[in-house]
Structure 1
């Protein structure tokens, strides 16, 4: 993911994505440390359960001890599954980041081509800004008309 961030042309975008990648890496490292601690605790519990099983096996029999051992094994399997899911999530994040980087490049190219076409048609930047401003004013007029129409309909509906 770090390599993909370096391929971004804009320094501000590169810095932003670099920080995001660092945050993901720190979070993954933290989760890995937590998982390691949890695994170590589970291994200790498993060892203690085995020792208890030996002691209790001499006195009571082994059915209760086997059940404890089985529960500990299930917990270990759950930890392994969690580690695998974290790895899958990380690879999915890398894939998404690379896809977004590719999409960004395609959009930049399309934007440049659109500006080139508009420049060849003869429209200047000031005309484009004028068109955008007109579009915003038209939207304001449209929404104001909608609200006014709703108010008039509501007033007529309340009177009848």
Structure 2
């Protein structure tokens, strides 16, 4: 049975992550086609900041879902189920990381193009309105890209912190299990010791009665012998 979290069951979160992966992959392909298009370089490229920002936002959301799934699969009862979901979550996380790397490469290429265009505009001394408009668009896109990268970096740090906390929780749970087993062993040992003590006490009482009976029997024999010798 799947674990349940604040965002739904493990299966539901996994399906949401897969849908986001598909949407993000398609959007990234559109962005790369836009980059390769000579027409887009001239006009349509103005829409690329919104598209790239949307892609990065989806990647951040996928990584957030991975954190939630990584927490949930650890509470599954069967080890086979835990292993299966661990591999699924790792696969989603790897695909998200691959998309992030592709987007970062695009952002780097785009930033390089903007720098080259800016340097060219400065060298040519273009001070007209069209040049100022292009530079303003480049600056806005650069700010949007930087903001998206900052958000992604913060999520990565949160993801690492969440994994560390879950790892500590798992270690503590193992230590508690060991302590419980040791306590049970001690209780079993105490129970065995009590049984041995009871057996010793019974043997002691039997030995005491045997001693008393022997003493009485000896007195009777001595008295009978005394009477017989008179």
| TM-score, length of structure 2 as denominator length | 0.36
- Whose radius of gyration is greater, 1 or 2? 2
So what's the TM-score if we normalise by structure 1? 0.48
